[in-house]
Amino acid sequence: MATVRGFCLNLPEQRQRRERFVAHLKELALPGRYSLFEASRGHCDAAARRGLSSGEDGIWRSVLALLEHACSSGDLDGYDGLHILEDDADLSPEFCCWLAAVDLADLPVDIVLTDMYAGPTVFPQRQAFFEEAFADNRLRWLAGSEYTGCLASWLIPVGRLPAVAALFRQIYHQEQRMIPVDNLLRRLFVEGQLQGVVSVPFLTSIDLESQAVSAIQDQSDRAVAATARVADLLRRRLSVLRDGRELEQLLPLLAELRSPAQLSAQLGALVQAVHQDRGFRYRFDARLLDQPGNPQASSDQTASARSRSASGL
């Protein structure tokens, strides 16, 4: 059983997010102790020099401050790992069960991610693999080199924490031009400087309402905002927290991103796909049973009707 010390990054003015997350934690029987950790605001001038937005610089400073606190404060004494969360994270009962059963010290990795960005490029490539994991009801893993970004929920075994913190600190203070911290983590995985894994399916997700008003997302361009929302919904679809509501929200958004002419051109392909999956159903009419081109001819309903007719019913 792993006991973790969890910290949720939260800006003081983000009261609604803070209250949502605290209430969320109370609903779960998490093994370990979780607290809020005050996030840092980005420094505009320093961010501009490094090629970061103010929000991205704030995330960098928040992560570094939390790693430093975890290494020096003694807060992790007696714990197996550090769990870093953003305040829009959604944990799951499945995550709690996994955490209660796993031994973090035995994992040959520096970082475990329980979800990640899964936008329109990633989702089609990986959907089948995730669906197999759902069908088997068995947890699988993606290699860290396949991690795509976002740091809503990640764990660091205590034994790996000093090295991870030192590497992050070194890069932030030595590199003149920076990239967002999640993209930096991906680079470290690809280069082999850190080892990581991502759970399949995702054991956590993001709260869709919180993400919709994210402080670092550009809401000025309608298409950009809609695309970001699609990515959030696809990400939720690959999580154990999916419940079908993400599909209801996806379809109108996808339609919004296509022009009427494009939708018209693609309508035939969509209708054909539903037809091939036998999604359409027709009112049964016994008078037309043997007529050419009758859709009833290939339906289960027809077989049943023929059986009744042969029985004289």
Q: What is the pLDDT of residues 120-144, one digit of tens each?
A: 889 999 999 999 999 999 999 999 9
- Cα–Cα distance for residue pair 116/203, rounded to 1 Å: 10
The pLDDT, as a whole number, for residue 250 is 87
Helix (H, G, I), strand (E, B) or coil at 145: helix
The dotted CATH code for 4-216 is 3.90.550.10
Q: Is 153 exposed, middle or buried (0-12, 13-18, 19+ CB in 10 A)?
A: buried
Task: Answer for the pair 118, 126: CB distance below 8 angstroms, yes or no.
Answer: yes
pTM over the 0.85 mark: no
Each residue's pLDDT tens digit, 144-189: 999 999 999 999 999 999 999 999 999 998 888 999 999 999 999 9
The ranges of the chain with pLDDT < 50 are: 215-216, 311-313
The pLDDT, as a whole number, for residue 12 is 93
What pairing do the DSSP bridges indicate for beta strands 111-113 and 196-200?
parallel
The residues, ordered by sequence, that sit 6+ positions from 123 with a Cβ below 8 Å of its Cβ are 234, 237, 238
Q: Among 57, 2, 64, 55, which Cα is nearest to 37's?
A: 64
- Cα–Cα distance for residue pair 88/275, rounded to 1 Å: 39
Q: Is 233 exposed, middle or buried (0-12, 13-18, 19+ CB in 10 A)?
A: buried
Residue 269 C-beta-side C-alpha neighbours within 13 Å: 5
- Cα–Cα distance for residue pair 313/309, rounded to 1 Å: 6
First to last CA, the chain: 63
Q: Which amino acid is at 297?
A: A
DSSP string, 236-285: HHTBTT--SHHHHHHHHHHHHTS-HHHHHHHHHHHHHHHHHTT-------
Q: What residue segments make up the domains of the chain, in order of their start?
A: 4-216, 260-310
The pLDDT, as a whole number, for residue 215 is 46
- Cα–Cα distance for residue pair 236/68, rounded to 1 Å: 31
- Cα–Cα distance for residue pair 296/283, rounded to 1 Å: 8
- Cα–Cα distance for residue pair 198/176, rounded to 1 Å: 29
How wide is the angle at C-alpha 271 spanned by C-alphas 269 and 276, nearest 5°? 90
Hey, which bits of the chain come out as E strands? 4-10, 32-38, 81-86, 89-90, 111-113, 140-143, 153-157, 196-200, 205-206
- Cα–Cα distance for residue pair 242/123, rounded to 1 Å: 14
DSSP string, 292-312: TT-GGGGSHHHHHHHHHHHTT
The pLDDT, as a whole number, for residue 2 is 81
Q: Torsion angle of alpha carbons 81, 87, 91, 95, nearest 10°?
A: -10
